[in-house]
Amino acid sequence: MDKVLLREQIARECARIMVQECIDDYHSAKQKATARLGLPFKHLPNNSEIEQALQEYQRLFHADTQAVRLHKQRNTALSAMQLLQMFQPRLVGKLVSGTSHEYSSVTLHVFAEPSEEIGHFLMDQHMPYELSDTYYANRTMSYPCYRFMAGEDEIKLTVFPLDKLRQAPPDPVSGKPMRRLNTSEVRTLLDA
């Protein structure tokens, strides 16, 4: 089979797996796709190709629900951003690209020094949370991550030092700096 066609087939299977099994990790999706297709783990599509296949899959099979879900999750993001305004929140990830699914987290980058300020703020708001780490750039950069629930949606706050406001980590899809939306940009997205 032609390498280009093979990459397209794997990308489409990755997209199907990511939507149906609510997987956000591209590497895991590639592993599952090649195993299910009985193909070797080579000639793999890059994350951008999978993202394109994911958008196409959602457009074809979830056109009736995707826009409603996306709007609801973005509204949740805006509410969280308004609550966290003192930490200059920025929306990132699948809610920005439009490829979120029903179990996607609302992912925000917030800025505080020390990072524990976020935990103190959440405690003051009587919001129970879990603390872990988020990794970027092939697991070489680690940042504290606070997770809590807002209704049915999980909010994931990755805490960066103040001087990283203008230095976004690399996007797992493109490798370029992540696209970060501020509150007014999220409002514009919701109005569109």
Percent of the chain with pLDDT over 90: 76
Exposed, middle or buried: residue 170 (CB in 10 Å: 0-12, 13-18, 19+)? middle
pLDDT at 137 over 80: no
Q: How far, in whole angstroms, is CA 126 from its chain's centroid?
A: 26
pLDDT digits (tens, 9 = 90+) for 17-29: 999 998 888 999 9
* b/e code 126-148 from CB counts within 10 Å (16+ = b): eeebeeeebebeeeeeebbbbbb
Q: Are 79 and 171 in contact (CB under 8 A)?
A: no
Model pTM? Answer: 0.88
The model's pLDDT over 156-184, given as tens digits with 9 standing for 90+, comes to: 999 999 999 999 999 988 889 999 999 99
Domains along the chain with CATH numbers: 3-61 (no CATH), 65-191 (3.30.460)
Distance from CA of residue 115 to its chain's centroid?
21
User: Which pLDDT value is given to residue 1?
Assistant: 64
Higher pLDDT, 142 or 181: 181
Determine which helix (DSSP H) or strand (DSSP E) holds 135, and give its type and residue range: strand 130-136
